[in-house]
Amino acid sequence: MAVASTSLASQLSGPKSLSQSYSGLRRSCPKLDHSHSPRSLFQHLHSHLSLSSSRKASRAVVAMAGTGKFFVGGNWKCNGTKDSISKLVSDLNSAKLEPDVDVVVAPPFLYLDQVKSSLTDRIEISGQNSWVGKGGAFTGEISVEQLKDIGCKWVILGHSERRHVIGEDDQFIGKKAAYALNEGLGVIACIGEKLEEREAGKTFDICFQQLKAFADAVPSWENIVVAYEPVWAIGTGKVASPQQAQEVHVAVRDWLKKNVSAEVASKTRIIYGGSVNGGNSAELAKEEDIDGFLVGGASLKGPEFATIVNAVTSKKVAA
Ligand code: PGA
């Protein structure tokens, strides 16, 4: 799906000044100015309140700008042994998880079969990577067909460790996403800036460029979850503040609205990753464009991962 190149990014001066630039999708409160007659003010208020209550009735949550279900992924990376994974699976099987959340874990390839055959069906399985095309003579690679064969529903693509440690570029990642989607896997599409890019005021340029590479390649956005993962926050213990994450999430949603469609902008889950843990997830989840999390280190501990999944409750209306 081709998209127009963005001129928005080039107009932006730096992350700090940007929250005001991305107000397009915010739910606006009616302004009590004197230009409204009492009747039009009433109509304005009524339509605003109906919108809020219909959202509430259909999804039982508030503080979500998008319409997608909360989504939490656990990226186990290159960690674990048969024994530690069996303990993690048993902790996950006994965890109490809120129903209103899609929950996915991405074990290392070697343990996918073990996890699939021992983990509750409540939690779906993801690959951490996949080959760019059909399997064959590609030593060391894992194909989309094999991931599906073992029971995976998802694959993580564009993770910063694949981009910056292994050296995958935007176009290669876009092709991988297109292949996986065409074969019926969901894609957790990761984007995010490095520290020096943030400091140079290029956060949005980088995120939009990475998004555009996905958008240019993929057949549809139906099965994509976007994970915003600032590289400086991954595995460092330096989580983005809720406001820092929110301003990028709303910018991503706005980019999707302008460059793909309003429907895709509203339906696509935009999840945050980078040092999410049981202690910070509830505050992050309160931001209305944060539709879930991609969790690394803290997903290796079953009870803590469950706490992060259950952070969805901080979006719910107090009874
Ligand atoms: P982290 O990793 O939670 O350990 O920072 C997140 C990720 O890389 O997906």
Cα(213) to centroid(ligand 1), Å? 22
For residues 159 and 177, the answer to whether their CB atoms sit within 8 Å is no
Q: Is the pLDDT score of 269 beyond 60?
A: yes
Asked whether residue 170 is assigned to any structural domain, the reply reads: yes
Give yes or no for residue 190 CB within 6 A of ligand 1.
Answer: no
Asked whether residue 163 is assigned to any structural domain, the reply reads: yes
Query: Is residue 74 very low, low, confident or very high in pLDDT (cuts 50, 70, 90)?
Result: very high
**Average pLDDT value over all residues in the chain:** 84
Q: Is the pLDDT score of 202 beyond 60?
A: yes
pLDDT of residue 317: 54
Per-residue pLDDT of 297-315, as tens digits, reads 999 999 999 999 999 999 8
Query: Is residue 3 very low, low, confident or very high in pLDDT (cuts 50, 70, 90)?
Result: very low
Query: pLDDT exceeding 70 applies to what percent of the chain?
Result: 79
Per-residue pLDDT of 17-32, as tens digits, reads 333 333 333 333 333 2
Asked whether residue 20 is assigned to any structural domain, the reply reads: no
Query: Is residue 38 very low, low, confident or very high in pLDDT (cuts 50, 70, 90)?
Result: very low
Q: Is the pLDDT score of 129 beyond 60?
A: yes
For residues 293 and 281, the answer to whether their CB atoms sit within 8 Å is yes
Cα(62) to centroid(ligand 1), Å? 26
Per-residue pLDDT of 216-254, as tens digits, reads 999 999 999 999 999 999 999 999 999 999 999 999 999
Give yes or no for residue 260 CB within 6 A of ligand 1.
Answer: no
Asked whether residue 147 is assigned to any structural domain, the reply reads: yes
Domain that holds residue 181: 70-93+100-112+143-318
Asked whether residue 136 is assigned to any structural domain, the reply reads: no
Is 159 designated active site?
A: yes
Query: Is residue 11 very low, low, confident or very high in pLDDT (cuts 50, 70, 90)?
Result: very low
Query: Is residue 259 very low, low, confident or very high in pLDDT (cuts 50, 70, 90)?
Result: very high
Asked whether residue 131 is assigned to any structural domain, the reply reads: no
Treating both helix axes as pointing N-terminal to C-terminal, what angle do 170-182 and 203-217 enclose, rounded to 10 degrees? Answer: 40
Asked whether residue 247 is assigned to any structural domain, the reply reads: yes
Q: Which of 7-21, 48-62, 91-105, 167-181 has the lowest mean pLDDT?
A: 7-21
Query: Is residue 63 very low, low, confident or very high in pLDDT (cuts 50, 70, 90)?
Result: low
**Which residue of 163, 164, 234 sits with most ligand 1 atoms within 8 Å of its CB, as the best mutation to test the pocket?**
234
Give yes or no for residue 230 CB within 6 A of ligand 1.
Answer: no
Nearest ligand 1 atom to the CA of 298 is 3
Cα(302) to centroid(ligand 1), Å? 15
Nearest ligand 1 atom to the CA of 190 is 9
Cα(106) to centroid(ligand 1), Å? 12
pLDDT of residue 130: 98
Query: Number of folded domains in the chain?
Result: 1
pTM for the whole thing?
A: 0.82
pLDDT of residue 108: 98
Asked whether residue 313 is assigned to any structural domain, the reply reads: yes
Is 229 designated active site?
A: yes
Treating both helix axes as pointing N-terminal to C-terminal, what angle do 82-94 and 302-309 enclose, rounded to 10 degrees? Answer: 40
Query: Is residue 64 very low, low, confident or very high in pLDDT (cuts 50, 70, 90)?
Result: confident
Q: Is the pLDDT score of 294 beyond 60?
A: yes
CATH (domain of 272): 3.20.20.70
For residues 151 and 184, the answer to whether their CB atoms sit within 8 Å is no
Query: pLDDT exceeding 90 applies to what percent of the chain?
Result: 77
pLDDT of residue 29: 31
